[in-house]
Structure 1
Amino acid sequence: MLDKAALATLFTEARTHNVWLNKPVSDELCQQIYDLAKWGATSANCSPARIVFVKSAAEKEKLVACLSPGNQEKTKAAPVTAIIAMDMEFYEKLPQLFPHADARSWFVGNQPNIDATAFRNGTLQGGYLMLAARALGLDCGPMSGFDADKVNAAFFAGSSLKVNFICNFGYGDAAQLFPRSPRLTFEEACRIV
């Protein structure tokens, strides 16, 4: 079991950051984040997420042009922004990733199953990516305020990839956080049957 400090890092004290310290995130740390997150469970080990770590000024400007106004400045200031995408042809990797069954056949020609599986499992992987970043000392700022068609055209044209969501990573300025928003209680959100 993780101790209270680790749980605080991952959950209870972790916050969504919008203001970033001017401290870079190395390419090696981006790789460490992925290398940790990739071990998170997905159905049939389908692993549909594909990540673009946007760091350069030119690529940041291209991405910022796709964002809602409220997400533009914080993304410009973030040391790195991850575009969490879904490979809509993830099933082509299943002979490699799930070799003990013909899992590819579960998806070929079944677009509703492809769409649901890519979205569900790609979102899971994006969550794992955020937990990995927090575990490695970074703060996160996930966002869904963007024009998906613009992001897809700018970063994934001619490919089988589609954006799922976007997340800024870096070292957040804790002094700029507003008070934590409440969460639903167990009784409000859960039931045991």
Structure 2
Amino acid sequence: MSQPLDDAALDQVFRTARSYNGFLDKPVSEAQLHSIWELMKMGPTSANQMPARLVWCTSDEAKAKLAACASGTNGPKILAAPVSVIIGMDLDFHEQLPWLFPHADAKSWFAGNDALREASAMRNSTLQGAYFIVAARMLGLDTGPMSGFNNDAVDEAFFAGTRIKSNFISTLGYGDPATIFARSPRPDFATFNTLA
């Protein structure tokens, strides 16, 4: 039976974890990227769809290409981070369902229904993106998720000729405490919750 995690773990993943605007000059290894995937892939998605398709921009060339698609101050953040990650979504994820979800003919649920596939791909790739953030934190890394970029430009630069579309971007590394500001408000339970 599972047991509650201790306070140190809860702090690292949620309570004291932050989204960083910059990172220390400390590399992130390919092995660490694999470790993030090995954790995040275990998070649930509807019918095990796993529509997220990640591009890990580790080279200067890839980061420059991605930064050119970003708006405002996000470009410099992408360039300076050890790794920048595109969380994309495969609109044809249903083609993988025969092996990812062999319990039923789940592919037929989505065949010929573009609107359903797009909604499901967005919902479940967003879940996977959240798992990415949590997995990175669990492994001692920090992230800087962002949505300030041109989706069409990212899709053309990284997913041309595919049915993969960008969802959001995140930088990844060891966060520099000097790049964050005071935490924004976090409301108590009663503010946004209802017991029915």
Shorter chain as denominator, the TM-score bin is: over 0.9
The match for 1:3 is 6
- Equivalent of residue 67 in structure 1, options 67, 70, 73: 70
Residue 177 of structure 1, CA deviation? 1.9
Give the TM-score normalised by structure 2. 0.97
Residue 14 of structure 1, CA deviation? 0.5
The match for 1:117 is 120
Structure 2, unaligned stretches of length 5 or more? none
- Equivalent of residue 25 in structure 1, options 17, 22, 28: 28
The match for 1:35 is 38
Which is further off, 171-180 or 29-38? 171-180
The match for 2:144 is 141
The match for 2:99 is 96
Give the TM-score normalised by structure 1. 0.98
SS in structure 1 of the partner of residue 11 of structure 2:
helix
Residue 5 of structure 1, CA deviation? 0.5
Measured in 1, the distance between the counterparts of 2:26 and 2:15 equals: 24
Measured in 1, the distance between the counterparts of 2:74 and 2:62 equals: 16
Measured in 2, the distance between the counterparts of 1:140 and 1:176 equals: 12
Measured in 1, the distance between the counterparts of 2:120 and 2:179 equals: 37
Measured in 2, the distance between the counterparts of 1:128 and 1:122 equals: 10
The match for 1:82 is 85
Residue 161 of structure 1, CA deviation? 0.6
Residue 176 of structure 1, CA deviation? 3.0
The match for 1:130 is 133
Amino acid at match of 1:12: R
SS in structure 1 of the partner of residue 73 of structure 2:
helix
1:1-49 C-alpha deviation (Å, 9 max, x unpaired): 1111101111000001001111110011001101110000001011000
Structure 1, unaligned stretches of length 5 or more? none
Measured in 1, the distance between the counterparts of 2:178 and 2:156 equals: 37
Residue 70 of structure 1, CA deviation? 1.6
Residue 174 of structure 1, CA deviation? 1.2
The match for 2:109 is 106
The match for 1:16 is 19
SS in structure 1 of the partner of residue 166 of structure 2:
strand
- Equivalent of residue 155 in structure 1, options 158, 172, 180: 158
Query: Does the alignment pair 1:58 with 2:61?
Result: yes
Measured in 1, the distance between the counterparts of 2:90 and 2:143 equals: 23
Structural RMSD (CA): 0.7
Measured in 2, the distance between the counterparts of 1:77 and 1:124 equals: 26
SS in structure 2 of the partner of residue 69 of structure 1:
coil
Amino acid at match of 2:59: S
Query: Does the alignment pair 1:192 with 2:195?
Result: yes
